[in-house]
Amino acid sequence: MPEPSDLAEPAPLPSLGTGARPGAWRDSIELRGLRFIGAHGALPDEAVRPQPFEVDLELIADLREAGRSDALEATVDYGELCEAVRAVIEGDHATLLEHLAEAVASRALAVAGERAIGVVVTVRKLRPPVPVALASAAVRICRP
């Protein structure tokens, strides 16, 4: 069995933006499995035929103040984040999942304001029009 002195210190998490402190723990607010209907895709009929999309959002933020104070003002309102995602998915047609993910990330960072250090967004098309059995097609992006 290794001695405690033989164990290496864990490496600090990388900084995702100007608000991150070197070696700081990465707190986050996670919203998983948000489902909305939207008309997005590269095929002509996808611009007019709504289909289901699923979004996962991880907002990287320092949550210590919220944890200490138990005050909504010290964090980011989950409902506002959900509505930001809804506005993108139910909004104007996008050809690419990449574009949807970028728009979701931008809106989420705008909602979070100074509290945000970064965001990770996954957008899934649950019924992609491909000629093989495929549960979903997805894009995942990380933005500071």
Which residues are annotated as catalytic?
125
Tokens of 48: 């007019």
Contact between residue 100 and residue 89 where contact means Cβ atoms under 8 Å apart: yes
Nearest to 105 by CA among 93, 88, 119, 124: 119
End-to-end CA distance of the chain: 41
Tokens of 135: 């549960």
Alpha-carbon separation of residue 32 from 38, 57, 136 (angstroms): 18, 6, 15
